């Protein structure tokens, strides 16, 4: 069976996902695209795919069985709610939404429908190095995790006015999600320290040093640098009671020449996580073909949103900001249990 998919948002990551869905992965066909910028959508549409005038017409089209949302974060809520109303399995790029109230509306709609439909684009959970790291921690041979050091460094961001909003809403959410997943725990409080400002980006509040306090007492420190210049550099190390487990330095060809010996660093997320995105969609296609969703849930999207909100409050207050979550609907404990009949 071939899953017929519609893609909303045909910018940077929309185009990258269209490439993998048409040229890399099997069992899927893109039958429609839509973007506020119709010309961009037409340019990105694979041969034979229809360009829809609005996301709503794409979502409700009988030709579309499942939806991939790659529009901007503030547009996700409306599009997700439409997809849930239409009972269509949906992959939604992070951030799932940009406010706690919006996250709760998505959760409420999905739970009311009685079937898991939403997978959020936290691709690190599909990365082989992160998966091996989690296997070691879950295995318990190192004892309980005490600290997780996470470095999230982007080469650059487009020019414009950036305060703390973008690094915390758009970037920190990955570290929040991977911390919860790796440590099997929830985040209960956030602090943010602002180091000396880097001169790399003229109007940029960069970097940020974030502390995430986990419910069972572990502490996560996160370096968020969004304009570090030299490349895209993701690191992670978990200190446990009886040992330390870390992501490996990714293998890269060693080049020796007149300038010395060196290895290249990925330019951006597309290069660093290429296999992770492929695997993320392989698993999404399998679940969506069965009419449901697995992987990171709307609950995970909610938790990441709360963390970004708390981090923004912590920048303003300079102190510790508590996170209070609603009781987790049991629905999210059994992700596969409610598959389509």
The 242-271 site mask, x for binding ligand ISE (CB under 6 A), equals: ---------------------------x--
Please tell me the distance from the alpha carbon of residue 48 to that of residue 154, in angstroms, as a whole number: 36
The answer, yes or no, to whether the previous bond of 290 is cis (omega within 30 of 0) is no
Looking at beta carbons, which residue is closest to ligand ISE? 171
- Residue 155: phi and psi, rounded to 5, are -65, -45
At 264 the three-state DSSP class reads coil
Tell me the angle at which helices 12-19 and 274-289 cross, rounded to the nearest 10 degrees: 70
CA gap 134, 152 in Å, rounded: 18
Footprint on this chain of ligand NAD (rule: CB under 6 A) = 8-14, 34-37, 40, 55, 70-73, 75, 93-94, 121, 123, 170, 269
Least distance to ligand NAD, CB of residue 312, Å:
16
Which of 35, 82, 110, 170 is in the footprint of ligand ISE by CB under 6 A? 170
Rg of the chain on CA atoms, in Å: 20
Give SS3 for 249.
Answer: coil
Q: Which does 154 bind (CB under 5 to 8 A by kind): ligand NAD, ligand ISE, none?
A: ligand ISE
Binding window for ligand ISE (CB under 6 A); candidates: 63-71, 102-110, 125-133, 167-175: 167-175
Q: Longest C-alpha distance within the chain, in Å?
A: 64
- Closest separation in Å from C-beta 14 to ligand NAD: 5
Question: Which partner from the list ligand ISE, ligand NAD, none does 171 bind, CB cut-off 5 to 8 Å by kind?
Answer: ligand ISE
Binder among 10, 98, 171, 305 for ligand ISE (CB under 6 A) = 171
Strands 28-34 and 50-51: parallel
Which positions lie near ligand ISE, rule CB under 6 A?
Answer: 94, 154, 170-171, 174, 269
């Amino acid at each position: 069976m071939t899953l017929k998919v519609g893609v909303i948002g045909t910018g940077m990551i929309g185009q990258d996902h269209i490439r993998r869905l048409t040229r890399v992965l099997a069992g899927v066909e893109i039958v429609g695209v839509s973007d506020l910028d119709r010309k961009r959508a037409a340019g990105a549409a694979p041969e034979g795919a229809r360009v829809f005038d609005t996301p709503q017409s794409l979502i409700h089209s009988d030709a579309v069985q499942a939806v991939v949302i790659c529009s901007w974060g503030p547009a996700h809520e409306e599009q997700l709610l439409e997809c849930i109303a239409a009972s269509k399995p949906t992959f939604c790029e992070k951030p799932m939404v940009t406010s706690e109230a919006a996250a709760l509306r998505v959760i409420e709609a999905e739970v009311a429908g009685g079937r898991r439909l939403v997978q959020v684009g936290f691709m690190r959970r599909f990365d082989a190095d992160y998966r091996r790291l989690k296997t070691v921690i879950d295995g318990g041979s190192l004892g309980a995790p005490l600290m997780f050091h996470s470095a999230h460094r982007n080469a650059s961001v487009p020019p414009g006015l950036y305060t703390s909003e973008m690094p915390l809403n758009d970037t920190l959410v990955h570290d929040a999600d991977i911390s919860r997943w790796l440590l099997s725990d929830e985040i209960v409080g956030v602090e943010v320290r602002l180091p000396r400002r880097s001169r790399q980006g003229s109007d940029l509040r960069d970097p940020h040093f974030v502390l995430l306090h986990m419910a069972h007492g572990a502490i996560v420190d996160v370096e968020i640098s969004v304009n570090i210049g030299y490349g895209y550099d993701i690191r992670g190390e978990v200190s446990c009671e009886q040992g330390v487990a870390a992501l490996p330095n990714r293998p890269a060809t060693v080049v020796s020449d007149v300038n010395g010996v060196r290895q290249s660093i990925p330019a951006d997320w597309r290069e660093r996580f290429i296999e992770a995105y492929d695997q993320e969609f392989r698993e999404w296609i399998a679940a969506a073909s069965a009419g449901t969703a697995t992987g990171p849930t709307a609950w995970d999207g909610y938790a990441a949103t709360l963390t970004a909100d708390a981090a923004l409050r912590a920048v303003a207050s300079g102190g510790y900001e508590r996170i209070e979550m609603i009781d987790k609907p049991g629905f999210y404990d059994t992700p596969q249990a409610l598959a389509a009949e």
